Amino acid sequence: MRSFLFVLTALSVIALAFWAYRENYATQEALSETEHLQREIGQARAKLGVLRAEWAYLNRPDRLQELANLNFDRLGLMPLHPDQFGRTDQVAYPPQPKFEIVNPIDVSTMAGEGQ
């Protein structure tokens, strides 16, 4: 009986060692994937910073004014003036829908019932 317990203990130690070995490699793989994703996030942030800088450079008002002047005969772009904008009281909002009361309840008679 004692030898059976020794064999069973040895097999359980081997099984636990195999499990720990597999978990170790799965953990290492997850860590390497996380590092890879962190590198990709860093590269994407760097690209985003470059794109934002390019966008700011391309949207300079003096550059846009020069482009509008160069392409005036094709586009006909004019500068905006304050009198070109409307006021909020000039906006035609749709009328509020009127809901019809289908089953009215007289609450004045209901208040007297509780007293």
pLDDT at 112: 57
Q: What SS3 state is found at 100?
A: coil
pLDDT at 110: 66
Question: What is the rounded CA–CA span in Å between residue 10 and residue 4?
Answer: 10
Question: What is the rounded CA–CA span in Å between residue 112 and residue 115?
Answer: 6
pLDDT at 90: 85
pLDDT at 91: 85
pLDDT string in tens for the chain (115-residue length): 889 999 999 999 999 999 999 999 999 999 999 999 999 999 999 999 999 999 999 999 999 989 989 999 998 888 888 888 888 888 888 888 888 888 888 887 766 555 5
Predicted TM-score (pTM) of the model is 0.50
Question: What is the rounded CA–CA span in Å between residue 39 and residue 31?
Answer: 12
pLDDT at 11: 95
pLDDT at 113: 57
| Composition of the chain by helix, strand, coil, percent to 5 | 75, 0, 25
